[in-house]
Amino acid sequence: MKTHKVLAILSEYGYWGIELVGPLQKLEAAGYQIDFMTQFGKKAEALPPSYNTEYVDPPLGVCVTTPSDAELVKAFEAEKRLEQPLSMNDFIPERPYTSATHYLRELENYYVKVKESQKILTEKYDAIFLVGGSGPIIDMVNNQRLHEIVLGFNRADKPIAAICYGVMVLAYARDFNERKCIIRGKHVTGHCIEYDYHDGTGFLHTDLNMGPPPYVLEYAMTDAVGPEGQFHGNFGKETSVIVDYPFITARSLQCSHEFGEQFVNVLDKGTKRYGW
């Protein structure tokens, strides 16, 4: 049943502005209400370069934030809509360690709570949206709670949209018992190696500069989809957006508006394939 609601997941360590605001505009224009969620329910903030029109992306060698996109992001931030997002921790408990004294009982209780929350979320929302930027590297990609939420939408056969480093969540969101990758055999896109930083991967609320990203997204995603699927880097093409239902993936910020259009097409027109 369609509810005309979408759940957007953001990092508390910074999201790339237009990668949220671009798709958000398309979704809201189509009549969808967007709710926001972070790991601990803390405010999500746009990374400063994402609204700085003088910021030059090192791999591309050009200013990547257009004046119109910068204004959209600054206007959205001024609305303060991200002050009190939902918290993942309120929905998904921590999975017990195998060393727990009553491990079996705790694990049974864990799965009961997870199933209840998955039902609540998939009945309330038509789709999930994993927003990109460097922040997801810290608190989204290897987040067991987020994995359970994504698995719930996958089992409910509802759209799962991801852009930039939010795409990496899909490689690791696996059933804890089966360990099977949910994008195995699928066509996806993401940050190809040619566009990865050599240095300067930074985050809000920390002085940490990780240098290059801590993993090569292209390699991880290629391995995740396996020989039956395909990772489409589309190096040299201005945008890269792939729909292989239920997954909608986009490479980076330049794809934000096209990504939003295809997100709406999947929701409203039943699009199952696009971009490959």
Can you give the pLDDT at residue 159?
A: 98
Can you give the pLDDT at residue 182?
A: 98
Can you give the pLDDT at residue 167?
A: 98
Give every CB contact of residue 178 below 8 A, 6+ residues apart in sequence. none
Which residue type occupies 99? S
What ranges make up the beta strands (E) of 45-145? 56-57, 62-63, 86-87, 127-130
Q: pLDDT averaged over consecutive 10-residue blocks of the chain (276 residues)?
A: 93 97 98 98 95 91 94 97 97 96 97 98 98 95 98 98 97 94 98 90 77 91 98 96 98 97 98 98
Can you give the pLDDT at residue 201?
A: 80
Give every CB contact of residue 114 below 8 A, 6+ residues apart in sequence. 92, 93, 148, 152
Can you give the pLDDT at residue 31?
A: 98
Of 54, 81, 75, 79, residue with least CA distance to 65? 54
Domain 5-274 has CATH 3.30.70.890: no
Consecutive H or E run containing 274:
strand 273-274
**How many Cβ atoms sit within 10 Å of the Cβ of residue 271?**
16
